[in-house]
Amino acid sequence: MDAKNHQDGKPGTVSMVGFDFGSTTSGAMVARAQVGLNCITGKMQFGEPHVLYQSESVFTPFHRGKIDRVRLSRHIDRWLAESGVACKDLFAGGVIITGLAARKANADAIARMVGERIGEAVIATADDPRLESWLAFMGSCSVLSRFHSKTPFINMDVGGGTTNSAYAINGNVLHTGCHFVGARHFQFVPGGYKLVGMSSYGRALLKRLGIDKDVGDRLTPLEIDAILKFYIAALEAIVTGNTGFFNSPDARVYQQVPFVFENKGRRPIVVFSGGVGELVYALGRGNDMLGTTHYGDFGIDLALRIAQSSVLSTGIGTLVPENMGRATVYGLTLHNTEVSGSTIFLPAQEILPCRDLPIVARLPVDARPESIQHALSLSAASPSGACIQVLPTRDHNETMAGIPGSESLERVKALGAKLHAALKNIRPKQPVVLLVSHNYGQVLGNYATNWRQLPLSLIVIDEIPDRQAHFVNIGRLRNNIVPVAFYGVC
């Protein structure tokens, strides 16, 4: 990468942070990367990141059925102190609460608290299963997928509360899903199977299986076998595309987001991440397993059953993904943020940052005037502002100013004229953000505002790849670029 800082000609280096609070464990990561022009594509992007700090995993703290805010804050304080990175120096990052932790009554409030505490550069979200599936794939096997570019991959991130699945080809995630299959729906005294806790999904499974046990009771070997057989059957149904498994009312409760994929060619290679995934590959390496219910849950038992499944274990000994148990926090830290081009249209720097903007429309660059008018009317209804994604044309052979892959100047001018006619109902201080995929941010912004004659808070951010999501965060301008993070993935 030819990274260039636009102020002093030196490489621009930024810091990124990720916090992942899961059903069983939590952790943090801080990484640093250069930002600059890619000498092949001519686009601004991150260089190869360098992980500065990676915390030890800790058990996610709970108290009386909620996430323990005090103990969580202590972990964050320690992680930040150990990393040596100040919050004010962060360019981008994220906080995500996943699995059963995301089902707790105070999960959203905790996510907001952590996000506000760490700084404006950080997105914070709870119970965003499609995003979690995408992040886990990116942190686990995006490199493997790009290397085996013609082979479909399914990454199964099996944790304490959920299994997040992603189907991808050549590093591009095409389908995601989430199911309440995980190791921690049943909690035991370590070393045996005496129940000390159950999730609502665990209780429902006992009822489905006709097992009359409660907290304080011990599960028998036959009962343990029945529970694990159901989990394995569910995982096998997920990877084989057997959506009918979850059609019955008592099985549907375990499906949060259906995992539907169309596989016309080669059979997908199944890889694993998450805490259970890490145990699966430890078995594949011939490592000795820890003692019975060492972590106080079904993690070890579930890993053993996955390794014994002819459907699930085909790739365990041949293709090992990166990061495994830390896949989500890797994906969150290193892959969730896009970086803008250096020719964004920004009327005033103080407009940024813009947080939690709803993406109200996805429009082609040659959208009809009525479609643009409708999108802007939706933007006008959002007091804090809104975002519109402008999709590239399918004809990538056209050029603007001789740059391959860009939109033609005629199309950009036409879009600007249609925007100009429709922007008159937008309040001056209400941010409207346009995300475009090619390098024409300033050009489009000037045509849309008649060279800044309209007093609007219109922002055009270029070189942002198409990501299907519901919300976006835009960070502050730094060295003529801004970070853009998506969440609420569709």
Map 122-177 to HEC letters: EEEEECCHHHHHHHHHHHHCHHHHHHCCCCEEEEEEECCCCEEEEEEECCEEEEEE
Q: Which one, of 219, 159, 231, lies nearest residue 189 by Cα?
A: 219
Instruction: Count CB atoms within 10 A of the CB of residue 461.
Output: 26
pLDDT of residue 399: 44
CATH level 3 topology of 12-127 = Nucleotidyltransferase; domain 5 (3.30.420)
> What whole-number distance in Å separates Cα of residue 24 and Cα of residue 427?
46
Over residues 375-426, the pLDDT tens digits come to 999 988 888 889 999 998 765 444 444 344 567 889 999 999 999 999 877 8
Q: How many CA atoms lie within 13 A of 230 on its CB side?
A: 24
Please give the chain's pLDDT, 490 residues, in tens.
333 333 333 348 888 899 999 888 899 999 988 887 766 666 777 777 889 999 998 999 998 889 999 999 999 999 999 999 888 888 888 888 988 888 888 898 888 888 888 876 677 788 788 889 999 998 888 888 989 989 999 999 999 999 999 999 998 899 999 999 999 999 999 999 999 999 999 999 999 999 999 999 999 999 999 999 999 999 999 999 998 999 988 899 999 999 998 877 778 999 999 999 999 998 877 777 788 899 999 999 999 999 999 999 887 877 887 777 778 887 888 788 888 988 899 999 989 988 889 999 999 999 999 999 999 999 888 888 899 999 987 654 444 443 445 678 899 999 999 999 998 778 878 899 999 988 899 999 999 999 988 888 899 999 998 888 889 999 888 888 899 988 887 6
DSSP 267: P
> What whole-number distance in Å separates Cα of residue 46 and Cα of residue 36?
7
Task: Note the Cα 298 to chain centre separation in Å.
Answer: 26
N-terminal to C-terminal alpha carbon distance within the chain = 31
Domain ranges for the chain: 12-127, 132-324, 338-489
SS3 198: strand
Q: Which one, of 46, 43, 121, 12, lies nearest residue 341 by Cα?
A: 43
If you search the block for the tokens 């274990």, which residue do you land on? 313
> What whole-number distance in Å separates Cα of residue 423 and Cα of residue 455?
10
The token pair at 57 is: 């995993």
**Please, which residues bridge with residue 428 across strands?**
none
> What whole-number distance in Å separates Cα of residue 321 and Cα of residue 327?
9
Q: How many CA atoms lie within 13 A of 234 on its CB side?
A: 30
Taking 3-state DSSP, the helix, strand and coil percentages for the chain, each rounded to the nearest 5, stand at 35, 30, 40
State the DSSP H helix or E strand holding residue 249, giving kind and residue range, or none if neither. Answer: helix 249-252
- How many residues in total does the chain contain? 490
Amino acid at 143: V
Residues 91 and 475: beta-carbon distance below 8 Å: yes
State the DSSP H helix or E strand holding residue 187, giving kind and residue range, or none if neither. Answer: strand 186-188
Residues 334-343 as b or e (16 or more Cβ within 10 Å = b): bbbbbbbbbb
Q: pTM for the full model?
A: 0.82
104 Cβ partners below 8 Å, 6+ apart? 62, 65, 66, 67
pLDDT of residue 430: 85
To 5 degrees, how large is the angle CA 15–CA 16–CA 20? 155
Instruction: Count CB atoms within 10 A of the CB of residue 109.
Output: 14
> What whole-number distance in Å separates Cα of residue 460 and Cα of residue 427?
17
pLDDT of residue 397: 43
SS3 447: helix
DSSP string, 376-420: HHHHHT-TT-EEEEEEPPS-TT-EETTEETSPPHHHHHHHHHHHH
Cis peptide before 353 (omega within 30 of 0): yes
- Provide φ and ψ at 250, rounded to 5°: -80, -15
Residues 182 and 162: beta-carbon distance below 8 Å: yes
Residues 138 and 335: beta-carbon distance below 8 Å: yes
